[in-house]
Amino acid sequence: MDIADVSAPPDAARVSASFLARDARVVAPALLGKLLVRDEVVLRITEVEAYWWPDDTANHCRMGRTARNAPMWGPAGNAYVYLCYGLHAMLNVVTDAEGEGAAVLIRGCEPVAGLETVRARRRGLDGPALLNGPGKVGAALALDSTWSGHALFERSGLELREGVAPRAIVAGPRVGIDFAKPRDRRARLRFAIAGSRWVSQRATLTPWRAH
């Protein structure tokens, strides 16, 4: 089992709300390498997607405020968790200013600690299949929609902490948004750590550099 040497000290600083209170398209690549911590389980973020404000036709907030997407309009650093296809809990990190509906979907992670707990929550699976997909991340952290609105930047049951930034990043179009307008379908708003195997659908990803 290959786990990269990316372990961070257990008291690594939590990511600040101000870091997250920026455009989702800027925050998304900057989240790669950071850590999600729930009890003994520590996951390093390897793949994300940005859902930005205000003109993204793939964004859950495109139709305005609803009970489900309410956390997306709140302060940056809260979680937005929703149920997809009736069974998968999808974890997002809320970004942008309060009153703006935007977030970053966590699509993939690599295990840093708590591997046995993760495997138990994932039917004993192993390898990248354990964590390369947003529903798999939700399952590994044992999340459900009651976590929606949870503050990730406070000491609590689920925290976002500083980690080791990736050396290189790849990007490509977002997954599963065929309903969106062509411009938004094409937009390269999916980011991943270059070379990581803990990433879903790697074929459409190509080298990316910040602008």
Partner DNA sequence: ACAAGGATCCTCT
Partner DNA sequence: GAGGATCCTTGTT
- 47 vs 200: CA distance, rounded Å: 8
| CA gap 50, 28 in Å, rounded | 6
41 part of the interface to DNA, by CB under 7 A: no
Residue 51, interface with DNA (CB under 7 A)?
yes
Site size toward DNA (CB under 7 A) is: 40
Candidates 11-19, 39-47, 62-70, 186-194; binding stretch for DNA (CB under 7 A): 62-70
Element at 195 (helix H, strand E): none
Instruction: Map residues 165-194 to x or -, x wherever contact with DNA holds by CB under 7 A.
Output: ---------xxxx-x---------------
Q: Which of 112, 134, 90, 108 is nearest to 45 (CA)?
A: 108
Q: Quickly count helices (H) and strands (E) in the chain.
A: 6, 9
DSSP state at residue 166: P
| 66 contributes a contact to DNA by CB under 7 A | yes
Smallest distance from the beta carbon of 189 to DNA, in angstroms?
Answer: 11
The Cα 158–Cα 151 span in angstroms is 8
Tell me which stretch binds DNA (CB under 7 A): 31-39, 54-62, 149-157, 182-190.
54-62
> In the complex, what is the shortest distance from the CB of residue 110 to DNA, in angstroms, rounded to a whole number?
14
Least gap, CB of 155 to DNA (angstroms): 26
Per-residue string for binding with DNA, 67-86, x by CB under 7 A? xxx--x---------xxxxx
| Measured CA distances, 84 to 106, 158, 208 (Å) | 14, 20, 29
Nearer residue to DNA within complex by CB, 103 or 169: 103
Closest of 88, 22, 101, 5 to residue 60, by C-alpha? 101
Structure tokens given for 3: 């786990």
The tokens for 15 are 């990511």
Longest dimension (CA), the chain: 44
At closest approach, how far in Å is the CB of 39 from DNA?
21
113 binds DNA (CB under 7 A): no
- Asked if residues 38 and 183 have their Cβ atoms less than 8 Å apart, the reply is no
* Site pattern 131..150 for DNA (x: CB under 7 A): --xxxxx-x-----x-----
User: Which residues here bind DNA, judged by CB under 7 A?
Assistant: 49, 51, 58-60, 63-64, 66-69, 72, 82-88, 90, 92, 103, 105, 122-123, 125, 129, 133-137, 139, 145, 174-177, 179, 200
